[in-house]
Structure 1
Amino acid sequence: MSDFTSKIQSELLRIEHEEQVRIVYACESGSRAWGFPSQDSDYDVRFLYVRPTDWYLSILEKRDVIERPISEQLDINGWDLKKALNLFRKSNPSLLEWLESPISYMERYTVAQQIRELSPLLFSPRVSIYHYLHMAKRNYRHYLQGEIVQIKKYFYVLRPILACIWILERGSIAPVDHGDLIAGLQLEPALEREINKLILRKKAGEEFDLEPGMNILNDYLEKQIACLEEVANLNQAPTGAEKQDNVLDDLFRKALREVWQ
């Protein structure tokens, strides 16, 4: 266990004590989970928690997130389990990624695994494609327009585009680990070489200053964004979440009993 992992787990326990909650799951969600952190990459920690049962028995709407200021490379925040399950029934891509993260810092109860087992029933390719395509278009527009660009921003467009392609080809949640994602796609060799060069530079800790844009990546991204916009407009089946509402209610109640018994 690394020193920083110990620090993260200590911080999670401190949050439990300060907020009077129990954390049921915590993971890495950023470039470290994707498999290509640089030496100074933040630790993007995300967690799910539950409060005591009486907290939920209230007529008042209460804050359902816990956030801490970013400090010393640590970016940490979490969602209340009730909020998470409401987003899960809508096939929220961020939550699905957290649950499949290859780096777990804490998983002490059965609720996270129960959610994973329900994921195939509630996963919506359409919702995920909309999510990733919107992310890719926004980042492409903000960071990669013009002849001179900040090269490292290609990662923030490439990953969501590749996730969309995985979903279209496989009909399943895209892997969080970038190596697994690339390995499962049939990319042109020249494109894959350019992507791998960028990853090697990032892992080596190179600073990505402003540089001329990479034509092979720009051409690929523009083509895929145009194609995916057409796909995103097609009607697709809903998630069928309504059929699982009783199951999710039961999962939530069981989680409260398991944690606080």
Structure 2
Amino acid sequence: MSYSEFFLGEVPDLSGVVAEQSHGLLFATVSGAHLYGFPSRDSDVDLRGVHVLPLAEVLGLRHGPETKERMWVRDGVEIDLVTHDVQKFCRLLTRPNGYVLEQLLSPLVVHTTDAHRKLADLAAGCLTSRHGHHYRGFAATQWRLFEKTAEIKPLLYTFRALLTGVHLLRTGEVNAHLPTLLEKLDGPNYLPGLIEAKILGEHRALAGVPGRPAPERLEADVAHWQEQLRQAREISDLPVEPPAFDEVHDFVVSTRLA
């Protein structure tokens, strides 16, 4: 599916961003709220990818950047670009890090290569039961932020993380799109309305939404999905360690030498 189908309003020329990078990119995909299925009209675009440092910037005295970050406005849209060198990205990939899995497998593809497709094929061998820790921790952080701000955004991020984790541990499929997860897992029926409400503003307060769920309902539902995540981890068929570790190691070496 084209990344442009997920944007609201004018779509910036993201392919041009790729051409401007000083290090070649293996891939660039859209992450964040657009990937999760609840962007606001004023959301920035989270562009994520992998760059490859040349040998001279790895073996010499002047080491190139493992991570490159930049934020700027392009065609009226704020772009948040973060790329990791292939070694760092793959190191994270072989740990229980859901972020890099979602970036690698995002259907919102701005730039791809044969190496991107090869690495995506290895992703299934990087899934472990320990990814439950990642999603549990991310959800807890977002829930605390919601308790502090009472905004819709961190509430949606809380449920997105919990449902993504449950689905991953049950099925071995990486799916970060909250509307789809709500259908697959029969999630709370008030969340589609909150997704619609968030379109009007990135930092919209829950208090301004008609028919909003009561605080005790939210607490009960979060506790329910935390328990579902715990149970899913206990019975998951996923391995504890990534079986594709050696293959990913070989991928990094061959990509660097190429």
Report the TM-score, using the length of structure 1 for normalisation: 0.80
Tell me the CA shift for residue 232 of structure 1: 5.8
In 2, Cα distance between the equivalents of 1:118 and 1:248?
7
Task: List runs of 5+ in structure 2 lacking aligned partners.
Answer: none
* Match of residue 78 from structure 2: 73
What CA deviation, in whole Å up to 9, does each residue of 1:191-236 have, x standing for no partner? Answer: 22x0111112223558623517634332100233355457668998
- Work out which of the two has the higher radius of gyration on C-alpha atoms and give 1 or 2: 1
SS in structure 2 of the partner of residue 174 of structure 1 = coil
SS in structure 2 of the partner of residue 46 of structure 1 = strand
* Match of residue 196 from structure 2: 200
* Match of residue 32 from structure 1: 34
The answer (yes or no) to whether the contact 2:163–2:225 under 8 Å persists in 1 is no
- For 1:202, the aligned partner's letter is K
- In percent, how many aligned pairs have the same letter? 21
Check 1:40–1:104 CA distance in 2 against 1; reply closer, same or farther (3 A cut): same
* Match of residue 119 from structure 1: 123
In 1, Cα distance between the equivalents of 2:126 and 2:26?
21
What CA deviation, in whole Å up to 9, does each residue of 1:39-79 have, x standing for no partner? Answer: 10110111101122332223676530111135451111110
Tell me if 1:5 matches 2:12. yes
SS in structure 2 of the partner of residue 255 of structure 1 = helix
* Match of residue 180 from structure 1: 180
Alpha-carbon RMSD across the aligned residues, in angstroms, is 2.9
The answer (yes or no) to whether the contact 1:100–1:176 under 8 Å persists in 2 is no
The correspondence for 1:85, drawn from 86, 90, 93, is 90
Tell me the CA shift for residue 178 of structure 1: 2.2
What CA deviation, in whole Å up to 9, does each residue of 1:100-130 have, x standing for no partner? Answer: 21211111x211111111112221122x210
Structure 1 range deviating more: 64-73 or 220-229: 220-229
- For 1:5, the aligned partner's letter is P
The answer (yes or no) to whether the contact 1:151–1:213 under 8 Å persists in 2 is no
The correspondence for 2:103, drawn from 98, 101, 113, is 98
The answer (yes or no) to whether the contact 1:174–1:181 under 8 Å persists in 2 is no
Tell me the CA shift for residue 84 of structure 1: 0.9
In 2, Cα distance between the equivalents of 1:168 and 1:250?
27
In 2, Cα distance between the equivalents of 1:252 and 1:92?
18
Check 1:55–1:144 CA distance in 2 against 1; reply closer, same or farther (3 A cut): same
SS in structure 2 of the partner of residue 125 of structure 1 = coil
In 2, Cα distance between the equivalents of 1:233 and 1:67?
37
* Match of residue 220 from structure 2: 219
Tell me the CA shift for residue 175 of structure 1: 0.8
Report the TM-score, using the length of structure 2 for normalisation: 0.80
- For 1:162, the aligned partner's letter is L
Check 1:70–1:155 CA distance in 2 against 1; reply closer, same or farther (3 A cut): farther
In 1, Cα distance between the equivalents of 2:229 and 2:57?
43
In 1, Cα distance between the equivalents of 2:234 and 2:110?
38
Tell me if 1:131 matches 2:134. yes
The answer (yes or no) to whether the contact 1:32–1:43 under 8 Å persists in 2 is yes
